[in-house]
């Protein structure tokens, strides 16, 4: 298994400390479904979350990762962010990789399939942030990644309130806000693996993920 080295773990610890300060000291976080959070060292885990703020990946990180992990953490980021050397180096060191949104980035999809085998990966099946908290249609590409990557665990996650800490267009985070993150029970999509990965099949897989997130919204009375 490809494990993060000492230097990378130290950099992760710095990042986690910063975001812990943002989420847990300057603001408040309530974690639901703690029993479903991946165990330390657990790999081939795919976290599928709704997306309402640019800081969503970091909330997932601070609530699911240990400071010195044996598992690499991966998350996609829009390609434009990697045009700036400083931001590019920071994102890459934290496990982020560039994705061309809306352009069928097959190279990135293949990369995700490979990474998924020995990492904890975060994906946003909607493909973009929801402006009003309403769940968007899931992308068939996510179903394709699941079908090809066959993760050991598929974990649905619902985030609430990060849009109040850092809404779109804002540079600095707000303080005194409350967020909630709900780790749902793992989803079993293995019956789909017995069929050919047509666009219709992979879309059904994405739809099942979004249906689960919709049920989770109702379960906790989600508020945008």
What percentage of the chain carries pLDDT values higher than 90? Answer: 64
- % of the chain at pLDDT higher than 70: 94
Please identify which residue in the block is written with the tokens 């097959």. 106
Using CA atoms, how far apart are residues 216 and 224, in angstroms rounded to an integer? 14
Q: For 154-208, what is each residue's pLDDT tens digit?
A: 999 999 999 999 998 899 999 999 999 999 999 999 999 999 999 999 999 999 9
Q: Which overall architecture, per CATH, does domain 6-220 show?
A: 3-Layer(aba) Sandwich (3.40)
3-state helix vs strand vs coil in the chain, percent to 5: 45, 20, 40
Which three-class secondary structure state does DSSP give residue 64? helix
Sheet containing 28-32: give its strands across: 28-32, 178-183, 153-160, 45-49, 119-123, 72-78, 96-99
| Interatomic CA distance for residues 39 and 35, integer angstroms | 9
What whole-number distance in Å separates Cα of residue 75 and Cα of residue 61? 10
pLDDT tens string 119-132: 899 999 999 999 88
Domain boundaries, the chain: 6-220
Q: What does the pLDDT read at residue 213? A: 98
What are the residues whose beta carbons fall under 8 Å from the beta carbon of 211, sequence distance 6 or more? Answer: none
- The reported pLDDT for the residue numbered 4 is 63
Q: Residue holding tokens 């985030």?
A: 159
> Whole-angstrom Cα distance, residue 158 to residue 50?
6
49 pairs with which residues across the strands?
Answer: 157
**Does 8 have pLDDT greater than 80?**
no
Q: Name the token pair of 69.
A: 């992990």
pLDDT at 2: 57
């Amino acid at each position: 298994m490809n494990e993060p080295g000492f230097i990378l773990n130290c950099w992760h610890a710095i990042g986690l400390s910063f975001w812990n300060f943002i989420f847990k000291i300057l603001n408040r976080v309530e974690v639901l479904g703690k029993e479903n959070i991946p165990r330390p060292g657990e790999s081939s885990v795919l976290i599928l979350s709704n997306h309402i703020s640019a800081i969503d990946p970091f909330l997932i990180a601070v609530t699911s990762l240990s400071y010195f992990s044996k598992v690499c953490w991966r998350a996609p980021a829009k390609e434009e962010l990697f045009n700036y050397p400083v931001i590019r180096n920071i994102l890459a060191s934290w496990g982020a990789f560039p994705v061309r949104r809306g352009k069928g980035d097959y190279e990135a999809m293949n990369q995700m399939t490979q990474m998924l085998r020995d990492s904890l990966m975060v994906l946003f099946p909607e493909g973009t942030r929801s402006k009003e908290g309403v769940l968007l249609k899931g992308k068939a590409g996510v179903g394709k990644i699941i079908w090809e990557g066959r993760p050991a665990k598929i974990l649905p996650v619902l985030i609430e309130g990060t849009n109040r800490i850092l809404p779109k267009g804002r540079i600095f985070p707000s303080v005194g806000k409350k967020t909630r993150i709900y780790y749902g029970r793992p989803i079993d999509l293995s019956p789909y693996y017995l069929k050919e990965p047509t666009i219709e099949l992979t879309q059904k897989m994405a739809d099942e993920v979004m249906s689960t997130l919709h049920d989770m919204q109702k379960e906790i009375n989600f508020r945008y």
